[in-house]
């Protein structure tokens, strides 16, 4: 078990004090009913027993905080569930991040076959040319065209605004990353924030009361130019923060699920997310 929550974590301690107040109230009533013999030795053992129980309760709370793999948040009267899982197994709409060209060429040069993008195209798309035509001719998506890169030697030429969304069956394909001349995905922090705000706005138009599942966007091969490293925890907190300021509302029973891949779960402090 990887220790993500410190033994004397401040939030954990505050939660423990809340539990302790309930226990104290219960003990106060219990000792009114139960008469403890006026024997110093018995009182000492009762005190030791209570102390041991309180320590055990704290340790159990600490262990649970460290092994937690799911948390439910209420933001803007909407429900956000952060959990480990496989996005392809989720119900409702599922978000798949593409690059700004909506490339579909899985050749380990433009799109790697082991990425979520590559897996989606290889396992869920029977006719890639048909998907390309649908993307190229989509009326709403064509309003989001930001330019054309005719000098690009491989892949598509038409570039879309970050955050643009194309719905294909129950999948939402979104333009998430920019591509450099070597077909490497990258973003700067301004691009990332801009993407998130545009993305939530697009989602607000499309979701129509359905639940939406989102991967941890940016945790793969995306390069953030101003930062040598940015942790999965920071990316997740940014994603939740952007939802909060977007003011989008998912009314019950619809919800947003942020799906953390099993390989990333040890990098996420689920307990800390309750502070978001």
Q: Is 134 exposed, middle or buried (0-12, 13-18, 19+ CB in 10 A)?
A: middle
Query: First CA to last CA across the chain, in angstroms?
Result: 24
Residues 240 and 276 sit within 8 Å (Cβ to Cβ): yes
Residue 111 or residue 172, greater confidence: 172
Residue 89 or residue 276, greater confidence: 89
Q: Is pLDDT at 37 greater than 90 in this prediction?
A: no
Q: Is pLDDT at 38 greater than 80 in this prediction?
A: no
Q: Is pLDDT at 92 greater than 90 in this prediction?
A: yes
User: What is the average per-residue pLDDT within 202-214?
Assistant: 92
Instruction: Provide the pLDDT for residue 93.
Output: 96
- Host H or E run for residue 208: none
Residue 130: pLDDT band (50, 70, 90) is very high
How do residues 13-22 score in pLDDT, each as one tens digit?
888 888 888 8
Instruction: Provide the pLDDT for residue 23.
Output: 80
Percent of the chain with pLDDT over 70: 91
Tokens 């940015």 sit on residue: 230
Alpha-carbon distance 83 to 24, whole Å? 34
Residues 103 and 112 sit within 8 Å (Cβ to Cβ): no
**78-84/165-168 β-pairing:** unpaired
- Closest alpha carbon to 4 in 82, 83, 80, 64: 64
- The per-residue b/e assignment along 9-48, b for 16 or more CB within 10 angstroms, e otherwise, is beebbebbeeeeeeeeeeeeeeeeeeeeeeeeeeeeeeee
Alpha-carbon distance 117 to 222, whole Å? 13
User: What is the average per-residue pLDDT within 74-85?
Assistant: 92
Q: At 201, is the secondary structure helix, strand, or coil?
A: helix
Alpha helices, DSSP H only, in the chain?
10-33, 40-67, 116-124, 128-137, 139-142, 189-206, 232-246
Percent of the chain with pLDDT over 90: 47
Q: What is the model's pTM?
A: 0.85
- The chain-wide mean pLDDT, for the chain, equals 87
- Range of lowest pLDDT (130-139, 148-157, 235-244): 148-157
Q: Which of 4-8, 121-125, 184-188, 220-224 has the highest mean pLDDT?
A: 121-125
Instruction: Provide the pLDDT for residue 34.
Output: 66
Instruction: Provide the pLDDT for residue 72.
Output: 95
CA contacts within 13 A on the Cβ side of 130:
6
How do residues 237-256 score in pLDDT, each as one tens digit?
999 999 999 888 888 889 99
How do residues 176-204 score in pLDDT, each as one tens digit?
988 877 777 888 888 889 999 999 999 99
Q: Is pLDDT at 213 greater than 70 in this prediction?
A: yes
User: What is the average per-residue pLDDT within 209-222?
Assistant: 85
Instruction: Provide the pLDDT for residue 33.
Output: 67
Residue 31: pLDDT band (50, 70, 90) is low
Alpha-carbon distance 237 to 212, whole Å? 18
Cβ neighbours of 142 (radius 10 Å): 13
């Amino acid at each position: 078990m990887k220790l993500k929550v410190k033994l004397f974590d401040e939030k954990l301690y505050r939660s423990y004090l809340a539990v302790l107040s309930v226990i104290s109230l219960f003990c106060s009533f219990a000792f009114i009913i139960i008469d403890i013999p006026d024997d110093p030795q018995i009182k000492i053992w009762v005190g030791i027993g209570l102390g041991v129980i309180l320590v055990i309760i704290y340790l159990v709370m600490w262990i649970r905080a460290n092994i937690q793999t799911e948390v439910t948040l209420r933001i803007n009267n909407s429900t956000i569930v952060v959990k480990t899982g496989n996005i392809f197994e989720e119900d409702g709409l599922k978000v798949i991040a593409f690059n700004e060209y909506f490339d579909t060429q899985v050749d380990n040069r433009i799109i790697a076959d082991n990425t979520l993008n590559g897996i989606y195209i290889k396992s869920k798309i029977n006719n890639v040319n048909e998907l390309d035509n649908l993307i190229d001719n989509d009326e709403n998506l064509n309003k989001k065209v930001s330019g054309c890169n005719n000098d690009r030697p491989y892949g598509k030429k038409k570039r879309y605004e970050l955050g643009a969304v194309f719905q294909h069956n129950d999948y939402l394909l979104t333009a998430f990353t920019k591509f450099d001349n070597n077909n490497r995905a990258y973003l700067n922090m301004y691009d990332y924030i801009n993407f998130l705000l545009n993305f939530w706005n697009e989602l607000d138009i499309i979701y129509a009361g359905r639940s939406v599942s989102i991967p941890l966007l940016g945790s793969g091969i995306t390069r953030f130019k101003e930062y040598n490293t940015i942790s999965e925890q920071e990316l997740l907190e940014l994603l939740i923060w952007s939802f909060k300021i977007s003011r989008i509302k998912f009314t019950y029973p619809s919800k947003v699920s942020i799906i953390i891949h099993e390989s990333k779960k040890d990098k996420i402090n689920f307990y800390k997310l309750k502070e978001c």
